[in-house]
Copies of this chain bind each other. A is one copy, B any other.
């Protein structure tokens, strides 16, 4: 291991030298991990998921983490590692990622074997190269570069890693796992390395994810389907009632019309809007990605604001009455709606649920009864632009990329919110993947130079965090 120490406190050139020296071995090691088809969704790969956990545990030991454990769950195992700073003032950081991957088969359209990594130019092709093994693995070389460049024998922060094995299966046991682990995973900040950047030439940091509340509404009218000739036009129709509910969900400005829905919503600051607007957004290309033929959404907001920073109500499914070919002249007996609500920081899923329940009950006409069932909600998470830990990430990334860092958010919802919620700690997203990496698609790849920028970012991050955390607290 190189011990050269740079004069620069965060060790810029030393870090780069270290990374260049270990580049080949790092990529070889990653390739070895990528050969393990740790597909959590396929039961016949259960052993591979376990092998993947064991492989990572061994590699984290080798990296220098004094504590490395494979944690069992009722499903696939997670890997936990801990490397105390030794400094009683040091903040504690928990890195989240996952070692399981999406299914992949050559016949899905892969040009090479998905579990036989291939390097072509700057690209490493394999299932999991970007999502998420590559982005987990850059932390191993990153912490070594941090130590090498600073001459430390322990990281500047108390470094913890929690790498789950079921993310691609919906993290069914993750919430229970982190609730049980309690103090073991306590942290002052969470770094999630399972996202990406705007584009290869536009490095960005994601500052939050939307939350999610979803419900199913069953509407009942006549006790059975009845003849539309004999009764139509004189009794309430539950399919019409369902449709009218959906139509009433949004006002003429495409804002959600449920009273109280926007209560507490953390509005975008002017600065955030300016920064979003600096991203090179091309509507045509976005529409191609969305496979959609027009944009449509809340008045007064751009497309990026709508998908990242505004709460929404969406119909995911609707049904009722005759579903077969041709027509059938009935007033249907029942109809259903499956609705989901994306939530943003400041919204409380419980209050949204209450608001929706009240609204639905108020909307329905006489003669239509209903049942409404909510699923488990996911909270939104957001770290403000001026949060000191976010500032550290931006500085570390800016130093690695030698470019200004812009900001994104994630419109989807995920286990990051569980970490924010259970640990009561800010969540920071550090990812170097780009949209062309093909997550969940054939020919997944990672850009090697970006992967090494990830290594470099973490090599700078721990020192910066430790230094500025002290200043801020």
Known: A242-B318, A321-B315. A292 touches B233 (CB 8 A): no
A257, chain B: closest CB distance, angstroms: 12
Q: Judge whether B330 and A316 touch: CB under 8 Å.
A: yes
Could you tell me the distance between the alpha carbons of A223 and B287 in the complex, rounded to whole angstroms?
A: 11
Q: Judge whether B340 and A226 touch: CB under 8 Å.
A: no
Contacts of A368 in B (CB 8 A): 293-294
Q: Judge whether A320 and B318 touch: CB under 8 Å.
A: yes
Could you tell me the distance between the alpha carbons of A228 and B297 in the complex, rounded to whole angstroms?
A: 13
Q: Judge whether A294 and B338 touch: CB under 8 Å.
A: no
Q: Judge whether B292 and A222 touch: CB under 8 Å.
A: yes
Q: Judge whether A317 and B332 touch: CB under 8 Å.
A: yes
Determine the residue in chain B with the shortest Cβ distance to A250.
Answer: B240
Q: Judge whether A314 and B232 touch: CB under 8 Å.
A: yes
A102, chain B: closest CB distance, angstroms: 14
Q: Judge whether A307 and B234 touch: CB under 8 Å.
A: yes
Contacts of A240 in B (CB 8 A): 246-247, 249-250, 314-315
Determine the residue in chain B with the shortest Cβ distance to A312.
Answer: B233
Nearest first, the 10 closest Cβ-Cβ pairs linking A and B are A294-B367, A229-B412, A233-B312, A247-B247, A243-B246, A317-B322, A317-B321, A243-B243, A235-B292, A223-B291
Does A349 touch B at the CB level, under 8 Å?
no
Could you tell me the distance between the alpha carbons of A322 and B298 in the complex, rounded to whole angstroms?
A: 24
Contacts of A311 in B (CB 8 A): 233
A86, chain B: closest CB distance, angstroms: 41
Does A239 touch B at the CB level, under 8 Å?
yes
Q: Which one of A92-100, A172-180, A208-216 contacts B?
A: A208-216
Does A389 touch B at the CB level, under 8 Å?
no
Number of interface residues of A (CB under 8 A): 79
Q: Judge whether A329 and B315 touch: CB under 8 Å.
A: no
28 A-B residue pairings within 8 Å (CB atoms): A210-B229, A214-B327, A222-B292, A228-B314, A228-B316, A229-B342, A229-B410, A230-B411, A231-B411, A233-B298, A233-B311, A234-B297, A235-B287, A235-B292, A236-B292, A236-B293, A239-B318, A243-B243, A243-B245, A244-B246, A292-B367, A296-B367, A315-B332, A316-B330, A317-B332, A318-B319, A319-B319, A326-B375
Contact of A234 among B228, B229, B303, B326 (CB under 8 A): B303
Contacts of A212 in B (CB 8 A): 229, 329
Q: Using CB atoms and an 8 Å cutoff, list the residues of chain A in contact with chain B.
A: 210, 212, 214-216, 221-224, 226-237, 239-240, 242-250, 287, 290-298, 303, 306-307, 310-312, 314-323, 326-332, 335, 338, 340, 342, 365-369, 375, 410-413
Contacts of A320 in B (CB 8 A): 315, 317-319
Contact of A327 among B287, B296, B298, B338 (CB under 8 A): B338
Could you tell me the distance between the alpha carbons of A96 and B267 in the complex, rounded to whole angstroms?
A: 71
**Known contacts A226-B292, A233-B298; 17 further A-B pairs (Cβ under 8 A):** A222-B293, A223-B292, A228-B342, A232-B307, A232-B314, A235-B295, A239-B316, A239-B317, A240-B250, A246-B247, A247-B248, A316-B321, A317-B321, A317-B332, A318-B318, A318-B319, A327-B340
Determine the residue in chain B with the shortest Cβ distance to A369.
Answer: B293
Contacts of A235 in B (CB 8 A): 287, 290, 292, 294-297
Q: Judge whether A317 and B323 touch: CB under 8 Å.
A: yes
Q: Judge whether B293 and A375 touch: CB under 8 Å.
A: no
Determine the residue in chain B with the shortest Cβ distance to A227.
Answer: B412
Q: Judge whether A233 and B319 touch: CB under 8 Å.
A: no
A363, chain B: closest CB distance, angstroms: 11
Q: Judge whether A306 and B247 touch: CB under 8 Å.
A: no
Determine the residue in chain B with the shortest Cβ distance to A367.
Answer: B294
Q: Judge whether A293 and B221 touch: CB under 8 Å.
A: yes
Contacts of A375 in B (CB 8 A): 326-327
Contacts of A296 in B (CB 8 A): 234-236, 365-367
Could you tell me the distance between the alpha carbons of A329 and B307 in the complex, rounded to whole angstroms?
A: 14
